[in-house]
Structure 1
Amino acid sequence: MTTRRCLCGALQEMSLLSHFCLCLQRKAGSCCRCIRFLHVFVFVLHIHGGHSQMCDPADLASLLAFSDGLDRMGAGLVGWGPNDTSCCSWTGISCDLGRVVELDLSNRSLSRNSFRGVAVAQLGRLPCLRRLDLSTNGLVGAFPASGFPAIEVVNVSSNGFTGPHPAFPGAPNLTVLDITGNAFSGGINVTALCASPVKVLRFSANAFSGDVPAGFGQCKLLNDLFLDGNGLTGSLPKDLYTIPELRWLSLQENQLSGSLDKALGNLSKLTLIDLSYNMFFTKIRAAKIRDKYPAFIFLTHFLNKPR
């Protein structure tokens, strides 16, 4: 539904093509006649390039509201403003059919800005936004709990965001979420995260507390799980050992304890694991994973100190 809405929103801006939007809103079997024209239209638009596209008025309004909500613009947003309505040519923005699909403001000298009111929530109203990068800006404040219906890749690492972490419950295509190096706190919303085909979760160096929640076993496509540098406690949930595609598991520098289940050896695709600086007390031989993870065994043996 989101893809169809994004495409139709762009076509509706052009009266010549509005009937194709109506066609796309019908069942798939009735769209055959408009597909050939649509292919030609997209090809021509691609030749002209994203920066020549007209900016959707609703997207423009959301971007202006976002910039207005910053305490100060910073060097990274030079060119943003109401005097230029061609937002597809603005710094860090990529468009498709006039709709904003990517926003890359990484390392844009936005430090010491805070989001006043609903500033960042305005970005969540961009219905076609697939990639968002606000990393390395020193931004502070809360991140909205809803919005971003088409989001796929999010990187807000190295900022000062606080409160609950974003989970994007209404985003069915989320694959990468990197929130490393913020001050997100509370628990981890595994239910919402695993409802998407998520592959990478980087939650390092925040202020998460409580147990590592059960439910990660539902993330069937998860490759990388980084929860290191938090205040997580308790033992590891058993379903953590059932993630079929898991390659990297980083849990060091928490307060985890208990024994390591033998099922850890069932993670056949695991290539990196670090559980150091915790309080595990499993005997290495009892875990029966010495041969498979020799480097991990060394770290676990020498850097875990039960209290």
Structure 2
Amino acid sequence: MAEPKSHLFIFFLISSIFSVRSLTLSSDIIALKPLNTPLNLPPFLPILASALGISLPCWDFSTEPCSVPRVTHFTCGITCSGSRVVQLTLDSQGYSGTLTPFIANLTRLITLDLTENNFYGPIPFSIFFLPNLQNLILRVNSFSGVIPPSVTYLKSLKFLDLSRNSLSGSLPNSMNSLTSLSRMDLSYNKLIGSLPKLPSNLNELALKANSLTGSLFYSSFNGLTQLMVVELGENSFTGTLDAWLFLLPSLQQIDLANNSFTGIIVPKPPPNFNSQLVAVNLSFNRINGILPVNFIYYPILRSLGLSYNQLRGPIPKEYNKKGSMQRLFLDGNFLNGSLPAEFFSGDTAVTGSFGDNCLTSCPVSSQLCSKSQKPASICQQAYGGPADQGLNCQSNV
């Protein structure tokens, strides 16, 4: 009776082995094969592969992409769950070509990451019909064309990074329908136009180094209670920065440097408002008026940049009493008067720059005053009075 039992054991062993080996759904293979075709490799890689004794390309369709084990086949970029491809991540090896529209067959795909390669051409519309896609990361490639309105079909999308490409046109007006989106980085493209209504669950917004225009309106940011980071530097935004921006409840970092803003309204936070603001960079704009004193009421603000604007008047004496301040950049304005001595005491931990202003008593021995002050003639012209009315800009003691 032992022999039948041994046969039964062998049967179950073979069955278990074949149950572990998952075959790939045919539609997923149809999607992967044309994607494999344009993966043109840099010339040094075949030489390196030969030296290391490995074969190229790293997708070998002589076996199933989702077969187990996957040691010698499909070694780069594919992750499966059962018989379906759920992640496609290419290493930064200079792969080039256009992206196949057949990628829409990967209906279980959660992550598509082609970071730092040489893909070019438009992003296929079919990508925006992947129902389970949560992470679309195409940064540092050469994709061109517009971001189509169909991007808003990606209802599961949490992370969108199309930065450092050559995308053009304006942002889709219906971006706010991406209700799952928490991080969006479209920096370093050629985008134009104004900001639309933004997704309500955004944590991070990055649109640096585009050609965006217009003012920042509350309607674009209304309801963004989780927004922590705003990076809109190196654009062409204009107008006044209103109080609502500084009162977004979760906001920690604001970078609006290198734009054309002309005014700023910094409110004193309400009594029950727990500000999270840590860093503000508004340098290289056209902001005029006096230096806002209300920044001192933001309890954990550590870094403030207002360099190279058109600010006038004295530096508020309260600034030197703000214990949390660590970095203060005010150079390149028309600030005048004398500086509180506390800025130059041994107890201060503030770094930054007060140079290229109209200040008196700014000692050149201090790192804060390493840049010289403006000539008296420029300060006199800026204030419309004689140089002896507290505007001796060249007085560096």
Task: Tell me the TM-score normalised to structure 1 length.
Answer: 0.72
| Post-superposition offset of 1:134 | 0.3
- Partner residue in 2 for 1:36: none
Q: Partners of 2:26 and 2:310 in 1: how far apart? A: 58
1:261 to 242, 255, 260: 242
Question: What is the correspondence of 1:88-237 to structure 2 with a 5 Å cutoff?
Answer: 89=70, 90=74, 91-110=76-95, 113-115=96-98, 119-146=99-126, 147-165=129-147, 168-192=151-175, 194-213=177-196, 215-216=197-198, 219-237=199-217
**Paired residue type of 1:237:** F
C-alpha distance in 2, partners of 1:122/1:305?
Answer: 54
Distance 1:87 1:296 in 2: 48
User: Structure 2 CA distance, aligned partners of 1:140 and 1:277?
Assistant: 29
Structure having the higher helix fraction is 1
Q: Tell whether the 8 Å contact from 1:67 to 1:73 is kept in structure 2 after alignment.
A: no
Instruction: Determine if contact 2:28/2:106 at 8 Å carries over to the other structure.
Output: yes
Equivalent position to 2:229, from 240, 245, 248:
248
Cα distance change on mapping 1:297 and 1:133 into 2, 3 Å? closer
Structure 2 CA distance for partners of 1:234 and 1:280, relative to 1, 3 Å: same
TM-aligned CA deviation for residue 303 of structure 1: 4.3
- AA aligned to 1:98 is S
Q: CA deviation at 1:86?
A: 3.2
Q: Partner of 1:63 in structure 2?
A: 32
Could you tell me the percent identity over the aligned residues?
Answer: 26
Alignment partner of 2:266 out of 287, 294, 299 = 287
| 1:80, distance to aligned residue in structure 2 (A) | 1.4
SS in 2 for 1:220: coil
SS at match of 1:245: coil
Deviation at 1:273, TM superposition (A): 0.8
Cα RMSD after superposing both structures: 2.8
Distance in structure 1 (CA, Å) of the matches to 2:214 and 2:83: 49
Structure exhibiting the larger radius of gyration computed from Cα positions:
2
Q: Is 1:84 matched up with 2:63? A: yes
4+ residue stretches of structure 1 with deviation over 6 A? 289-292
Question: 1 CA distance for matches of 2:100 and 2:208?
Answer: 27
Secondary structure (helix, strand or coil) at the match of 1:66 reads helix
Opposite residue 249 of structure 2, the aligned amino acid is S
Structure 1: distance between partners of 2:29 and 2:184:
30
- Partner of 1:84, secondary structure, is coil
- The 1:295/1:247 distance shift into structure 2, 3 A limit, reads closer
- Which string of whole-angstrom CA distances, capped at 9 and with x for unpartnered residues, describes residues 89-129 of structure 1? 3121011121000001131331xx221xxx42122221100
Q: 1:80 to 1:105 in 2, by over 3 A?
A: same
Note if contact 1:277-1:303 (Cα within 8 Å) is conserved in structure 2.
no
Give the TM-score taking structure 2 as reference length.
0.57
- CA distance, structure 2, for counterparts of residue 169 and residue 178 of structure 1: 14
Count of residue pairs brought into register by the alignment: 248
CA distance in 2, matches of 1:292, 1:129: 36
Shift of 1:265: 2.4
Structure-2 change in CA distance of 1:185 and 1:305 (3 Å): farther
Q: How big is each residue's C-alpha offset from its partner over 1:50-89, in whole Å with a ceiling of 9 and x where there is no partner?
A: xx42211110111002112x16256597231432333553
Residue 190 of structure 1: CA displacement? 4.3
Match of 2:307? 302
- The structure-2 alpha-carbon separation of the partners of 1:72 and 1:295, relative to structure 1 and needing over 3 Å to count, comes to closer
Distance 1:156 1:54 in 2: 28
CA distance 1:123–1:268, change in 2 (3 Å): same
Unaligned runs of at least 5 residues, structure 2: 1-15, 47-55, 270-274, 284-304, 312-397
